[in-house]
Amino acid sequence: MTPYSCKSRGELEKEYQAVLSQYDACKAMGLKLNMARGKPSKQQLDSVSGLLTVLQTPEDCFEDGIDCRNYGELAGLPSARAYWADILGCKPEETFVGGSSSLNFMFDVVSRAYTHGLLNSPRAWCREERVKFLCPSPGYDRHFRLAGFMGAELIAVPMTPTGPDMDMVEELVKDPQVKGIWCVPKYSNPDGIIYSDETIHRLAALNAAAPDFILMWDNAYCVHEFEGEYVPFPDIISLCAEAGHPDMVFEFASTSKITFAGAGISVLASSKANIDYFTGILAVQMISYDKLNQLRHVRFLKDKEHTIALMKEHGKIMAPKFHAVFDALEREIRPLGFAHWNQPKGGYFVSLNTMPGTARRALYLCKQAGVTMTPAGATYPNGLDPLDSNIRIAPSFPPVEELVQAMDVFCTCLKLAALEQLLGK
C-alpha cells in the first residue's frame, strides 16, 4: 500500500471508489456497535462477582466496632481510608472516602470553590472577575464540561509524550485568574500517557500567582495496566507538601473500573488541612456515605497488592481488545500515512489523530454505518478540536468479535473521510 500523500489524483480516485463500495457494504450490514464510552465489559464485571456476596449477615457489617448499616464516619470507614492510602501512597488522614462517584467529588471541590472558596482563597470564585482553567488537550470531556458549567474559561494546553506542555503551563499560571489545571497523571484520558517524573515534579512545584490554584489530579487509572507490570507512581500529595504547596492538590480515584462502574467507591485525597476543611463543608450536604459498599470493597479488594493482582486478570480481558484496535489500525491505516495514534499499556482509551479536518466527518460516516464513537471534538475544551483531528477509541466494552467488526467500519470511514478531503469532494 502506498501512503495517500504519495498517490496521484487518479490513484486516489480509484482508491476512493474502492473505499466507497467497502463503506456501502459496511452500511448494508446494519450493525449497531458502540465504542463511545470507557465502560467495563460484562466479562470484567463477572470477574468481581465476589463483591456481591462478601456481606451476608448482620455480623459481617461491623468493622472497627462500627456498624456500617448506620449513620456515622462522614470521612469514610477507617479501613476504607487505609485502603485508599495504600493504593495512592498517601496517609489515611489525607483521604476522604465517599460514594460511587469521583466525578461528584471533583464537582464538590470546584463548585464549593465557586460558592464558598477554598482553604486559601481570598474570596469565593464567583466573586472573581474571571476564573480560568487549564485543560491539557486532548483530555477528558467531563472535566472540561464541569469547569465550563461553573463558569470557568477553558484554556487548552497541548499534551506532549511526557504530559502537559510544562513550559506553557508555567507561563500560564503567572496569570492570577488561572485557578486550576486538570490532570490525569497515569494513562491520561484519552492519550494513555504516563506523566514523566519531571512533569510531575514541575507540576508539584508550580508557582501559581493565584494563592488558591489547584491541581485537579484525577488518578482514574492508577492501577489500570492491561499489559506488563504495574507501574508505580509518586505520591503527589507529599510532592506538593515538599514543594511548599501542601494544599494545592486534590487527588481523585474510584473503583468504577476496578469493580462495578457507577457502583464502586471513590476517594478524595489531599492535605489533612484540605480534608478537614472539606469534611466540614460536606457535613452540610451529607450525613454519611454508603459505608456498606465501602466495607464490601475493603473486604473484597483487601489491599494494593491484591488489587493489582485483580487488575492483572482484568488486563487479560482488556489486552485482546486493545490489540484488536492496534492490529486493525496497523494493517489498514499505518501504510496510508495519514493518521497516528498511541499504543498505551494501560487505561481505557486509544487516542488517534487522523487527517486534520476529517475527524467529525469520519465519525459521522461511522454513525451512519451503525458504529457509535465518542463525538469528535469531545476531547477538547468546549467540544472544539481546532484541528478536527483527534478521535477517542474506547475498546473496553464490546466483545473482541464486535470490536473487529467496528474497527473495520471505523478504518473504512477514516479512509473515506480522508479521501473526500484530498479529492475535494
Please say which residue, 21 or 115, places its beta carbon nearer to its own copies.
Answer: 115
Whether 413 and 366 have beta carbons less than 8 Å apart is answered as yes
Binding segment for its own copies (CB under 8 A), chosen from 80-88, 107-115, 319-327, 359-367, is 107-115
Task: Tell me which of 6, 57, 65, 229 binds its own copies, using CB under 8 A.
Answer: 57
261 binds its own copies (CB under 8 A): yes
Which of 30, 58, 161, 232 is the binder for its own copies (CB under 8 A)? 58
Query: Counting contacts by CB under 8 A, is residue 111 touching its own copies?
Result: yes
Q: Which stretch binds its own copies (CB under 8 A): 205-213, 260-268, 352-360, 375-383?
A: 260-268
Binds its own copies by CB under 8 A, chosen from 55, 269, 393, 414:
55
List helix spans (H) across 57-178: 78-88, 102-115, 141-149, 166-172
20 contacts its own copies (rule: CB under 8 A): no
Please provide residue 392's backbone torsions phi and psi, each rounded to the nearest 5 degrees. -100, 125
Q: Examine residue 68 and tell whether it contacts its own copies (CB under 8 A).
A: yes
Q: Which of 89, 79, 87, 102 is nearest to 298 (CA)?
A: 79
Angle, alpha carbons 205-208-213 (nearest 5°): 100
Handedness of CA 93, 143, 394, 163 (dihedral sign): negative
By C-beta, is 12 or 263 nearer to its own copies? 263
Among 71, 158, 171, 309, which residue sits at the site for its own copies (rule: CB under 8 A)? 71
Convert residues 264-293 into a mask of x (bound to its own copies by CB under 8 A) and - (unbound). --------------------xxxxxxxxxx
33-35 and 371-373 strand pairing: parallel
Is residue 168 a contact point for its own copies (CB under 8 A)? no
Using the rule CB under 8 A, give the single segment among 8-16, 41-49, 159-167, 404-412 that binds its own copies: 41-49
Contact between 39 and its own copies by CB under 8 A: the answer reads yes
Query: Cα 276 to chain center, whole Å?
Result: 27
Residue 302 beta carbon to its own copies: minimum distance, rounded to whole angstroms: 20
| Among residues 49, 207, 343, 368, the one that binds its own copies under rule CB under 8 A | 49
Is 252 an interacting residue with respect to its own copies (CB under 8 A)? no
Q: Which residues contact 80 (CB under 8 A, 6 or more apart)?
A: 97, 265, 291, 294, 295, 297, 298
> Cβ of residue 293: shortest distance to its own copies, in angstroms?
7
Longest dimension (CA), the chain: 78
| Residue 121 interacting with its own copies (CB under 8 A) | no
Q: How far is the CB of 217 from its own copies (least distance, A)?
A: 18
Cell numbers given for 356 = 486534520
Single out the segment in contact with its own copies by CB under 8 A; choices: 19-27, 36-44, 204-212, 320-328.
36-44
CB-CB contact of 178 with 132 (8 Å): yes
Order of strands, sheet of 214-218, starting from the edge strand that comes earlier in the sequence: 95-97, 266-269, 249-254, 214-218, 178-183, 132-137, 153-160, 163-164
Cell numbers 463477572 label which residue?
46
For residue 190, whether the previous peptide bond is cis, meaning omega lies within 30 degrees of 0, is yes
Sole binder of its own copies in the list 34, 66, 93, 107 (CB under 8 A):
107
Structural contact between residues 144 and 190, judged by C-beta atoms closer than 8 angstroms:
no
CA 404, 408, 409, 415 torsion-angle sign:
positive
Residue 126 in contact with its own copies, rule: CB under 8 A: yes
CA-to-CA distance for 159 and 191, rounded, in angstroms? 9
Stretch that binds its own copies, among 59-67, 201-209, 219-227, 321-329 (CB under 8 A): 59-67
Burial of 383 (0-12, 13-18, 19+ CB in 10 A): middle
Stretch that binds its own copies, among 60-68, 169-177, 373-381, 404-412 (CB under 8 A): 60-68
Any contact of residue 161 with its own copies (CB under 8 A)?
Answer: no
Which residue, 245 or 297, has its beta carbon nearer to its own copies? Answer: 297
CA atoms of 56 and 70, how far apart (whole Å): 16
With binding defined as CB under 8 A, does residue 32 bind its own copies? no
- Where are the strands (E) in 172-254, listed by range? 178-183, 214-218, 249-254
Task: Candidates 89-97, 98-106, 304-312, 413-421: pick the segment binding its own copies (CB under 8 A).
Answer: 98-106
**Residue 142 interacts with its own copies (CB under 8 A)?**
yes
Question: Where does this chain bind its own copies (CB under 8 A)?
Answer: 37, 39-40, 42, 45-46, 49, 52-53, 55-58, 60-61, 67-72, 99-101, 103-104, 107, 111, 114-115, 126, 142, 145-146, 149-150, 256, 260-263, 284-293
